[in-house]
């Protein structure tokens, strides 16, 4: 009886030893094979040898990842070629990762899985390299083409007067999100290889609606037609006849602003040859003072003032200043402030 039990035990031990040896022997034959069900970059390479899996990925995956990448937004498109990006798909590394995943787990687990035909439901991520410098330059180039600063509303001056230039909102690309989107798309084996950037809208500081309140007063002087036009909140309020600088002492053209204002000003005579014996003197208000009633200075020594020589209005007669009839200059003075734009054409 004891001998019989010994024989049975010996048989069981022998069976286990042979089974274990068989399992190890079978498992070793799978050492270079990808487990069934495994994918790499979405491509099924399950059950393939190392060499076949590499060839399959090179055929099916690499062409997808080596297509041009685009950034597209509202009709604008920017292209990044795989050559410029320095894209290199690591097929060998992906297959090695797949085989490593295939060898995970206990040897008996792997053996049972292989014998029963069970699958490893996993997808090895894409493995590639690219030039970070090239990607950074591409993103900056696209942002430069897409970013648009907000435009404040402003006043445009011309020979016909003034015009309103409308404001518009700006656009700013979210740099971090765009960069992350480009890098993710470079690694993605699916999709249309197009990144659509996230943007934010930026608002102008001065809108078209606010422009009129920003410019309560504007003076436009037309030297050739001897007129001064006063605009109130961008609408023509009044047109006054004037005299401007004579030849050689022309009233300076350009955009200025009212820098000083004075009632019944004294005349600080310029130290110029045309002033003769009066050069450098200060003439107080009175009959000898040509600056009557009001003074609105701009551009240093030049200014707008009243005159009692109304016959000079409509001509080039002054020494560079703008002359107005006394009632007109008083009326204008009451409408403007220091800082009022003065545009002379």
* Helices within 128-200 (DSSP H only): 132-146, 175-187
Q: 266, 258, 240, 246: which is closest to 330 by C-alpha?
A: 240
Do 64 and 119 lie in one domain? The reply is yes
Q: Report how far apart, in Å, the C-alpha atoms of 219 and of each of 36, 82, 136, 265, 335 are.
A: 85, 60, 50, 21, 10
Record the pTM: 0.66
Considering the domain boundaries, does residue 308 fall inside one? yes
Do 182 and 75 lie in one domain? The reply is yes
Considering the domain boundaries, does residue 170 fall inside one? no
Do 228 and 337 lie in one domain? The reply is yes
Do 189 and 281 lie in one domain? The reply is no
Considering the domain boundaries, does residue 20 fall inside one? no
What is the predicted pLDDT for the residue at 132?
Answer: 97
Is residue 200 a contact partner of residue 149, using CB atoms and an 8 Å limit? Answer: no
What is the predicted pLDDT for the residue at 24?
Answer: 46
Considering the domain boundaries, does residue 106 fall inside one? yes
The pLDDT profile of the chain, 345 residues, written as one tens digit per residue, is: 556 665 645 444 444 454 444 444 444 444 689 999 999 999 999 999 999 999 999 999 999 898 999 999 999 999 999 999 999 999 999 999 999 998 874 454 545 455 555 667 899 999 999 999 999 999 999 999 999 999 999 999 987 889 999 999 999 999 999 999 999 999 999 889 999 999 999 999 999 999 999 999 999 999 999 999 999 999 999 999 999 999 999 999 999 999 999 999 988 877 777 767 777 788 888 888 899 999 999 987 799 999 999 999 999 999 999 999 999 999 999 999 999 999 999
Q: 266, 272, 261, 337: which is closest to 304 by C-alpha?
A: 261
Helix (H) / strand (E) containing 14: helix 2-29
| Domain boundaries, position 70 | 32-148+176-198
Considering the domain boundaries, does residue 22 fall inside one? no
Give the C-alpha separation, 294 to 288, whole Å: 15
Structure tokens at 303: 């200014």
Do 182 and 232 lie in one domain? The reply is no
CATH number at residue 246: 2.40.440.10
Compute the half-sphere exposure of residue 168: CA atoms within 13 Å on the CB side of its CA.
5
Give the C-alpha separation, 229 to 117, whole Å: 94
Do 89 and 114 lie in one domain? The reply is yes
Residue 126 has φ and ψ, to the nearest 5°, of -65, 140
Do 229 and 267 lie in one domain? The reply is yes
Do 187 and 274 lie in one domain? The reply is no
> Is the dihedral angle over the CA atoms 293, 298, 302, 304 positive or is it negative?
negative
Do 180 and 273 lie in one domain? The reply is no
Q: 212, 308, 218: which is closest to 256 by C-alpha?
A: 218
- The count of other CB atoms within 10 Å of the CB of residue 279 is 12
Do 184 and 102 lie in one domain? The reply is yes
Considering the domain boundaries, does residue 21 fall inside one? no
What is the predicted pLDDT for the residue at 2?
Answer: 55
Do 89 and 221 lie in one domain? The reply is no
The number of domains in the chain is 2
What is the predicted pLDDT for the residue at 280?
Answer: 72
Considering the domain boundaries, does residue 192 fall inside one? yes
Q: Which long-range contacts (CB under 8 A, 24 or more apart) does 113-116 make?
A: 113/35, 114/26, 114/30, 114/35, 114/36
Do 88 and 141 lie in one domain? The reply is yes
Give the C-alpha separation, 138 to 144, whole Å: 10
Q: 26, 33, 29: which is closest to 49 by C-alpha?
A: 33
Considering the domain boundaries, does residue 153 fall inside one? no
Question: Helices 132-146 and 175-187, interaxial angle, to 10°?
Answer: 130
């Amino acid at each position: 009886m004891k001998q019989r039990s010994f024989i049975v035990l010996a048989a069981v031990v022998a069976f286990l030893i042979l089974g274990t040896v068989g399992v190890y022997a079978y498992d070793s034959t799978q050492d270079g094979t990808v487990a069934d069900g495994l994918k790499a970059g979405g491509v099924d390479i399950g059950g393939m040898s190392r060499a076949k899996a590499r060839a399959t990925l090179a055929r099916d995956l690499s062409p997808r990842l080596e297509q041009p990448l685009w950034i597209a937004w509202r009709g604008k498109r920017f292209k990044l070629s795989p050559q410029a990006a320095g894209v290199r798909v690591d097929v060998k590394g992906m297959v090695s990762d797949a085989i490593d995943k295939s060898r995970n787990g206990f040897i008996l687990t792997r053996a049972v899985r292989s014998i029963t035909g069970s699958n490893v439901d996993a997808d090895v991520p894409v493995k590639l390299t690219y030039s970070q410098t090239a990607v950074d330059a591409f993103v900056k180039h696209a942002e430069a083409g897409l970013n648009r600063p907000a435009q404040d509303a402003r006043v445009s001056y011309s020979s016909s007067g003034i015009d309103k230039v409308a404001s518009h909102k700006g656009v700013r690309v979210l740099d971090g999100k765009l960069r992350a989107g480009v890098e993710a798309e470079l690694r993605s084996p699916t999709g249309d290889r197009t990144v659509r950037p996230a943007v934010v809208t930026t608002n102008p500081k001065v809108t078209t609606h606010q422009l009129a309140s920003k410019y309560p007063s504007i003076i436009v002087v037309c030297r050739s037609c001897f007129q001064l036009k006063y605009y109130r909140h961008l609408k023509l309020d009044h047109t006054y006849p004037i005299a401007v600088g004579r030849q050689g002492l022309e009233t300076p053209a350009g955009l200025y602003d009212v820098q000083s204002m004075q009632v019944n000003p004294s005349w600080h005579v310029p130290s110029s040859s045309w002033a003769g014996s009066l050069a450098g003197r200060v003439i107080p208000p009175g009959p000898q003072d040509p600056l009557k009633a009001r003074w609105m200075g701009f551009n240093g020594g030049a200014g707008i003032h009243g005159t009692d020589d109304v016959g000079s209005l409509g001509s080039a007669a002054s020494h560079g200043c703008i002359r107005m009839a006394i009632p007109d200059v008083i009326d204008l003075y009451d409408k403007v402030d220091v800082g009022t734009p003065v545009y002379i054409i």
